[in-house]
Structure 1
Amino acid sequence: MSFRPRLDILPPARRELWPQLKPLVKLGLVLYGGTAIALRIGHRHSVDFDFSTEKPLDKAAIMASLPCHAWPQPTLRNAPSLPA
């Protein structure tokens, strides 16, 4: 069974942006949070994308991998890791 995201939960601008986020996978980023769940089960609308990674955050690589119009004002931040 392949995963087909419920893109109907995204506003049109975010729906258009969705395929452009694919390069983030190669950088080790994983979509998580409410939008990730909503794309899976379609229980609510969502307007933002939250990503996480186990790797050190390479902000320059992230910004370089995305089209310049994708982020009007990016929010990239390091947060402490949770203990295993």
Structure 2
Amino acid sequence: MPSLIRAQPFTSPVMLAVFGDEARLDAALRFESSLSQAQADVGVIDPPAAAQITATCLDHPDAETLAESAARRPAPPSQRPLR
């Protein structure tokens, strides 16, 4: 899956380290992990559920594998016009 950031001619290795696909995936999963912990702290979800979410976020595939897997799944009807 092409990345718009990598396709830009003015991208540097430093910018890719901050905004590349792997960095964005890592940031999103750290957010989800933190959110689950905060929700457990206030009783929205059970602590074991938060622990499972955090464990899943830590053990994730690389961005390319994730993108390839997502591309093979059929889109829900509401998203088909977007593909």
By the TM > 0.5 criterion, same fold? no
More helix by share: 2
**What is the TM-score with the length of structure 2 in the denominator?**
0.29
More strand by share: 1
Greater gyration radius: 2
Larger relative contact order, structure 1 or 2 (CA cutoff 8 Å, min sep 6): 1
